[in-house]
Structure 1
């Protein structure tokens, strides 16, 4: 009898540990996941939006998955891993795929997307256009589903890279003015996502050290150094981004957010490669040129491909490898306040919005 009781107790403890490993959600079901941004979050929208040649749909992209999937990576990207961690077993689909099932969420990210859409950009969707698309489709999900969903956002890299290319001699005043303009538009679109879309839980990555990307080192021929002008704008953007998100919670009391310090994590890996299991953090795994940073996926470019992707921080000239993406996702999900604040995604998922007045959603 005692033996049977011990077995029952063991099973009970095992069951409790099993359920504890899943993220706590107020509805008891995994939350929906929506993603917005540029090529770092694109899961294939670009091939449905643009008729331009799409390198991410060609080998060696997807090398670690044995086939290209439209992701600018050798395998999975950060939202793929976060989706699994919050309990979604299938990757969320590109929203522009007419055959996509949207029962677990959708990706609105498109390669080349910016916060500020210029008139010359016709082959991508700006952040504002992505938000508009979400608002247009929002009635596909209930108020409660949208309120408890996680909204992952990574946007702004191309705003600063494009500015550096078109204004190489911009002074500090002009650089700061550009940062202010980008953040003003970003804040406006975030408010629209909240007010018109019903978003309540935001998971935002700050910008990585863009001036240290292999493609930037290569194109601007700066040798072993990072491009200071770009990194200055990125640092200023990141400092003010934290304040923008915090300020939004004052008028919008139901807003919750996680802000992940991507910049710090990538910088640490660049500076201490061996500590994180890399042999190269300044050159691309796939491409050609002085930093192997150009041409990955292009049929007319004789790109080189490294023999072991996990030893590289970057897969191509501006996108990280699957190994890096998995590390980032795990930290985003459960990292401490030195990395992700004020709460991580695991805690964000557990924040209830059920006590909000109906008119707020």
Structure 2
């Protein structure tokens, strides 16, 4: 999501991953063996929740201070103070985080770990962002396959992340879409996600994880109207409708393809952390760590060499980084919460892995 488009993009509308539960040591070792010897690549599609550097420098947003202040210590194209969703999935899979598509020629030696095609600000359909939507992102992978950059074996032994975090819905609202027609539009978005999942499968990917929408009504850009005190239930109900449709669609696809798709339940994991933030050492659950001094400015805004944003003292104590995105601490808390769902374990051990 591009920062200068905050009023238009909703990069983040409406688990992880998993080592087995304690006591299942033998299966843990076997899962690790599978990860090390068979899973060789991670491919990512989507928006700023997955983007690790595809947006261009010089356009602000994820490439300006104080982004990246926690990791790697400077702006590096991630929409956070540090690591994002893709990094934590790669960590679980014991893979290096896949290189951004934009850097594939500069970092050719890293292609072997997979590739990240996600661009902040994009959706499954066109948004106000000029970056490629998910259909075009999948085109990029298809082109690399035709160019023999990746083989059938590479695709078969990979996991693909599909991150859809709400830009389509924000763009719908920003272009005067009606609340009455919102359910119909949500249906069209989920239908397009389904089309994308089928297409990725046909490219030869056997394992896919797709995220459910996080609680849009709890994002700081929404809760600012209540001084960051409460979530917007109307938005969250729309998110639940999206997630219900996605669950139905994935269930049907899995009946046809041996449970090869798993959903990351970001809604429940976000809400669990937000409702029990102190357990995760989160002091500020809804208030962002970095925000503009007024509604005219965003995190990182600078005018005439004067900072127009405020930065909290301890990003590690905040769940949200800016108006839309979690901090690294926030993502880590979500990751820790999602481990108990065994979703990635189910993905790895589903019939047809090899």
Tell me the TM-score range normalised by the shorter chain. 0.7 to 0.9
Moved more, 154-163 or 239-248: 154-163
Matches within 5 A, 1:159-178: 159-167=168-176, 170-172=178-180, 174-178=181-185
Q: Are 1:179 and 2:178 an aligned pair?
A: no
Per the TM alignment, residue 189 of structure 1 is displaced from its structure 2 partner at its CA by: 1.4
C-alpha separation in 2, matches of 1:34 and 1:354: 16
Per the TM alignment, residue 294 of structure 1 is displaced from its structure 2 partner at its CA by: 5.0
C-alpha separation in 2, matches of 1:124 and 1:265: 29
Q: Are 1:296 and 2:299 an aligned pair?
A: yes
Cα RMSD for the two superposed structures: 2.6
Change (3 A) 1:348 1:250: closer
Q: What SS is found at the alignment partner of 1:198? A: coil
Matches within 5 A, 1:246-265: 246-251=251-256, 253-254=257-258, 256-265=260-269
Q: Are the aligned partners of 2:209 and 2:264 in contact in 1 as well (CA < 8 Å)?
A: yes
Q: What SS is found at the alignment partner of 2:286? A: strand
C-alpha separation in 2, matches of 1:60 and 1:266: 24
Q: Are 1:85 and 2:92 an aligned pair?
A: yes
C-alpha separation in 1, matches of 2:260 and 2:297: 39
Q: Are the aligned partners of 1:114 and 1:159 in contact in 2 as well (CA < 8 Å)?
A: yes
Determine the structure 2 residue equivalent to 1:68.
Answer: 75
Per the TM alignment, residue 151 of structure 1 is displaced from its structure 2 partner at its CA by: 0.5
Q: Which has the higher contact order (CA 8 A, sep 6+)?
A: 2
C-alpha separation in 2, matches of 1:200 and 1:271: 35
Change (3 A) 1:347 1:122: closer
Change (3 A) 1:21 1:155: same
Per the TM alignment, residue 188 of structure 1 is displaced from its structure 2 partner at its CA by: 1.1
Per the TM alignment, residue 38 of structure 1 is displaced from its structure 2 partner at its CA by: 0.5
Q: Are the aligned partners of 1:254 and 1:353 in contact in 2 as well (CA < 8 Å)?
A: yes
C-alpha separation in 2, matches of 1:307 and 1:228: 30
Per the TM alignment, residue 212 of structure 1 is displaced from its structure 2 partner at its CA by: 1.5
Q: What SS is found at the alignment partner of 2:67? A: coil
Summarize deviations over 1:52-83 as a string: whole Å, max 9, x none.
61321121111112111110111111221221
Change (3 A) 1:181 1:62: same
Change (3 A) 1:71 1:21: farther
Q: Which runs of 5+ in 2 are unaligned?
A: 1-24
Determine the structure 2 residue equivalent to 1:217.
Answer: 223
C-alpha separation in 1, matches of 2:56 and 2:64: 11
Determine the structure 1 residue equivalent to 2:285.
Answer: 281
C-alpha separation in 2, matches of 1:190 and 1:285: 35
Determine the structure 2 residue equivalent to 1:348.
Answer: 347
Determine the structure 1 residue equivalent to 2:15.
Answer: none
C-alpha separation in 2, matches of 1:277 and 1:189: 37
Q: Are 1:272 and 2:279 an aligned pair?
A: no
Per the TM alignment, residue 192 of structure 1 is displaced from its structure 2 partner at its CA by: 1.1
Correspondence for 1:117 among 126, 146, 150: 126
Q: Are the aligned partners of 2:35 and 2:94 in contact in 1 as well (CA < 8 Å)?
A: no
Change (3 A) 1:200 1:146: same
Q: Are the aligned partners of 1:156 and 1:207 in contact in 2 as well (CA < 8 Å)?
A: yes
Summarize deviations over 1:145-179 as a string: whole Å, max 9, x none.
211211111114111122233337x234x111011
Per the TM alignment, residue 345 of structure 1 is displaced from its structure 2 partner at its CA by: 1.5
Q: Are the aligned partners of 2:259 and 2:351 in contact in 1 as well (CA < 8 Å)?
A: no
Determine the structure 1 residue equivalent to 2:333.
Answer: 327
Q: Are the aligned partners of 1:34 and 1:107 in contact in 2 as well (CA < 8 Å)?
A: yes
| Largest Rg, 1 or 2 | 1
Summarize deviations over 1:12-59 as a string: whole Å, max 9, x none.
xxxx98x928623278244310111111111111117xxx61321121
Change (3 A) 1:214 1:254: same
